[in-house]
Chain A
Amino acid sequence: MNPMVLNLYGGMVSFLSYDFMKYAFLAAILLAPLFALLGTMAVNNNMAFFSDALGHSAFTGIGIGVLLGMKEPLFSMLAFGIFLSITITKVKAAQGFSTDTIISVFSSAAMALGIVILSREGGFAKFSGYLIGDILTIQPKDIITIAVMLCVVYIIWMKIYNSLLLVSVNRSLAVSRGVKASLVENIFVITVAVVVMVSIRWIGILTINSLLILPAAAARNISKNAAQYHWLTLGIGMISSVGGVLVSYYMGTSAGASMVLIAAVLFFVTYSISKCQK
């Protein structure tokens, strides 16, 4: 065998000989398709800013959990995330508001409230881990959680994808085809909220939105139809996630940020390809 390949192979083996790396690797492989699926629609519906707000709102979710004396604030994060998504969707549907402004107000308020609660008596440093997350701390039971989440999201996706696609093209038209537009939109935002809140411990508040948006945005540059878009997003998401874990291992960097950086590079690559094709 070529010595270089052998070397790389050896590197991989040593890398996977650590349990935490095995888990991180598995988690990345499961998280990538999860974020890719949801990302395709988040980008189609111009929701990049919405999911950003959702990520930031995790602060308040954690804050509420701390106030209630919860050891594990996941439930308060989920509850607040779902509440915020539905509220934003409702306000967005009421005409006469600029969506950007509304989301910005909610996002700022949710972030500020969370930080105020968490920084009481100067104790914010305890929670700074949430900012960039740590996928290397992932446990086998977390991986099972992610796998279950992936299965459930896939089932939801099989059911609502076409309806959601029609709504993103034109809402009235979707309604005329018998689509319950508000219902599918709410199912979608709740799904995004749950996935974001569950994953935030590992990916980080600051980087989670990019992981949702960037692979889809990169795939969109060169996709001509829904099938290409879906599979390319999946591929780009997978390369970014697994690549991010590898970079993190060899360079000691944050895995979440490394994933995002790879996805960003891929975005510029596909962007250049699309420009060359024209």
Chain B
Amino acid sequence: MSIHNRCGLCRIDISNLSVYSGEDILIENINMDFHCGQLTALIGKNGAGKTTLIRAILGERKFTGKIRYQRHDNQEIKRPITGYVPQQLTFDKNMPVSVMDFMLAGKKNPPVWLRQRKAEKEHILKRLEQMHCAHVANRKLGELSGGELQRVLLTAATDPMPDLLILDEPASGVDAAGLDLFYKTVSELRNQYHMAILLVSHDLDLIRKYADKVVLINKTVIEQGEVAEVFATDAFRESFGR
């Protein structure tokens, strides 16, 4: 991506987005927008449709409605780059895939069992270093701790730098120190590269600390706005009992 400037004008508009599964409504008429340089937190009870919304944004689920990526000069970004850090990865821990394999496979490289370009490997090592996890480059993906894995996933999601970075419950399975480091890194990325960040989390304290904006959903958007505003609404208290 081109590094987004500080204007805050580039934005992602979601209008009338609905996802159905047969007869069931999973989410309906979602209208929201989020901006580059902002961390928007998506909250809601279990089953409120957070994961469905993310799958729709990623293009993994069919939806009706529109998602529009717009540059600061109102031009549409036709092929936006999306970075995605999934919830706890449930994969086979014995899978013989090293961190380096995983990083190389995410880009247009020859199959990872063939010899890889030296420059590409060096680039990945440098990126891992910036995320404080160069030491795990040759370890198996399944051998990493929760915090290490999360940082590797963040490295992959931000290479190349995305227009939109989606973090789906990135905190699960990570200890307190790892969590702090993770969010610090995310904040640094936001400040340095000004991408839009969409965070799904249940950790309201973290959201209070790091988010710029909150969107509360339950099948559709119930409240959105500044963190303090949304946290003070009745709908929020109803959902989270606070």
- Name the distance in Å between B112's Cβ and chain A's nearest Cβ: 5
The reply on B145 being an interface residue by CB < 8 A is: no
Give the docked Cα–Cα distance between A230 and B166 (Å). Answer: 33
Q: B105: which of A166, A181, A219, A228 is its contact (CB, 8 Å)? A: A166
The reply on B65 being an interface residue by CB < 8 A is: no
Q: B113: which of A173, A176, A227 is its contact (CB, 8 Å)? A: A227
Residues of B near A157 (CB, < 8 A) are: 111
- Name the distance in Å between B125's Cβ and chain A's nearest Cβ: 15
Interface size class of B (residues with CB under 8 A): 35 or more
The reply on A158 being an interface residue by CB < 8 A is: yes
Q: A161: which of B55, B106, B111, B140 is its contact (CB, 8 Å)? A: B111
Interface size, chain A (Cβ < 8 Å): 30
Write the chain A residue with the least CB distance to B99: A225
The reply on B205 being an interface residue by CB < 8 A is: no
The reply on B100 being an interface residue by CB < 8 A is: yes
Contact A225 B138 (CB under 8 A): yes
The reply on B191 being an interface residue by CB < 8 A is: no
The reply on A165 being an interface residue by CB < 8 A is: yes
Which residues 216-260 of A sit at the B interface, judged by CB distance below 8 A? 219-220, 223-231
Contact A166 B106 (CB under 8 A): yes
Per-residue A-contact encoding for B111-152, CB less than 8 Å = 1, 0 else: 111100000000000000000000000101100000000000
- Name the distance in Å between A2's Cβ and chain B's nearest Cβ: 37
Per-residue B-contact encoding for A73-98, CB less than 8 Å = 1, 0 else: 00000000000000000000000000
Contact B60 A172 (CB under 8 A): yes
Residues of B near A177 (CB, < 8 A) are: 84, 106
Residues of A near B105 (CB, < 8 A) are: 161-163, 165-166, 226
The reply on A14 being an interface residue by CB < 8 A is: no
Question: Contacts A165-B101, A165-B105: A175 and B95 contacting too (C-beta < 8 A)?
Answer: no
Contact A170 B89 (CB under 8 A): yes
Give the docked Cα–Cα distance between A71 and B168 (Å). Answer: 56
Contact B166 A176 (CB under 8 A): yes
Contact A168 B84 (CB under 8 A): no
Residues of A near B83 (CB, < 8 A) are: 176
- Name the distance in Å between B107's Cβ and chain A's nearest Cβ: 8
The reply on A152 being an interface residue by CB < 8 A is: no
Write the chain A residue with the least CB distance to B112: A226
Contact A176 B101 (CB under 8 A): no
Per-residue B-contact encoding for A175-212, CB less than 8 Å = 1, 0 else: 11100010000000000000000000000000000000
Which residues 48-95 of B sit at the A interface, judged by CB distance below 8 A? 54-55, 58-60, 82-84, 86, 89, 91-92, 94-95
Q: Which residues of B contact A (CB under 8 A)?
A: 54-55, 58-60, 82-84, 86, 89, 91-92, 94-98, 100-102, 104-106, 109-114, 138, 140-141, 153, 156-157, 166, 168
